[in-house]
Structure 1
Amino acid sequence: MTSLKNELVGTWKLLSYIEVPIGGDDSLFPMGKAPYGILMYSPDGFMSVQISKEERLLYKSNDKMMATQEEMVSSLQGYIAFCGRYKVDNNNAVVSYIIKSSLFPNWKNQIQRRKIDFEGDILYLKSTEPILSDGAYVNSYMTWQRIDRSIDDFFEESVLGEYTALK
């Protein structure tokens, strides 16, 4: 039997992120309907996730420390990031995150759990306990697709393509 950890290890791109209020209200899209995200699970038990809204404000300054209040709010409210250790419970199909660093400092040293389900190269993650989001308790539903590309493909398309265009 293959362990769920072996199936999780790798890099995943976000397809959708939806929050469903536990009170039965309409579903929410806190990062918009076209968010960008990357989720990574390493074989040695570390994980990292980054999710961003597409429409965050650009800073007027090129100095990341010189943002206006409006730019900082847009930046913070339009981004989710945390990393730490993870552990998989094969019997219950649950992954637990032991968060060591987070953009939202209240999550540091907290544990969050996600129910795991797979369909081919698609990973479905659902929060097992509601979280507070914009004043309401919600369950989060995320759909991820495995990225199956070599680092050479990335450099060839992204870095080298941009470098060549500049010449």
Structure 2
Amino acid sequence: MSLDKEIIGTWKLVSYQVELQGSEEYIDAMGDFPRGRVIFTTDGWVAFNLEGAGRKPAHSDEDRANLMQTLVAYIGRYRIEGNQWVTTVQTAWAPEWVGTEQRRTVTINGDSAHVVTPWRKMPNWARDKMSRSIIKFVRAS
């Protein structure tokens, strides 16, 4: 089956790690038990919302700012190019992503998906370093 057919549906986040370029260092960016979903529709929309483990309600502006360190969320139109999905972002937790294209390499094996981002500077962590995210999902039931 082709990726454009396999990817349709709802996927549950299993793990989210960040690799720092040139250091062999990994950041467990979302903790041991992150939560989130990515949903691909048949008409070309993707909704992506991932949260780190242990998030608690904010009681101050500082708390709210800190919560941004454990959140990745965006919605847009997507297309498949080979083994990648490319999202044209229409709304996002990070305003600088709106209007950009976000490219993800994905490998689907049964009900598991392994996703890798390109090297980039991420607004949440390691801001001064190039990093890439390595994300694992399972098909949600």
> What TM-score comes out, normalization by structure 1 length?
0.77
Task: Write out aligned runs for 1:3-152 (5 A).
Answer: 3-60=2-59, 68-90=60-82, 93-132=83-122, 133-135=125-127, 136-148=129-141
Where relative contact order (Cα < 8 A, 6+ residues apart) is larger, the structure is 2
What is the Cα deviation at residue 59 of structure 1?
A: 3.0
Cα distance between partner residues in 2 of 1:53 and 1:115: 22
Cα distance between partner residues in 2 of 1:76 and 1:44: 30
What is the Cα deviation at residue 3 of structure 1?
A: 2.3
1:56–1:74 CA contact under 8 A, matched in 2: no
Q: Residue 113 of structure 1 aligns to which amino acid in structure 2? A: R
3-state DSSP class of the match of 2:66? helix
Question: Could you say which structure has the higher helix fraction?
Answer: 1
1:113–1:129 CA contact under 8 A, matched in 2: no
Question: Could you say which structure has the higher strand fraction?
Answer: 2
CA RMSD of aligned residues (A): 1.4
Cα distance between partner residues in 1 of 2:24 and 2:8: 34
What is the Cα deviation at residue 33 of structure 1?
A: 2.3
Q: Residue 57 of structure 1 aligns to which amino acid in structure 2? A: K
Runs of 4+ in 1 over 3 A off after TM superposition: none
Cα distance between partner residues in 2 of 1:6 and 1:127: 21
Cα distance between partner residues in 2 of 1:53 and 1:3: 31
Cα distance between partner residues in 1 of 2:106 and 2:119: 14
5+ long unaligned stretches in structure 2:
none
Q: How many residues align?
A: 138
Q: Per-residue CA shift, 1:79-138, capped at 9, x if unaligned?
A: 111010100013xx1110111100111100111111111121001111134333322211
> What TM-score comes out, normalization by structure 2 length?
0.90
How many percent identity over aligned positions? 24
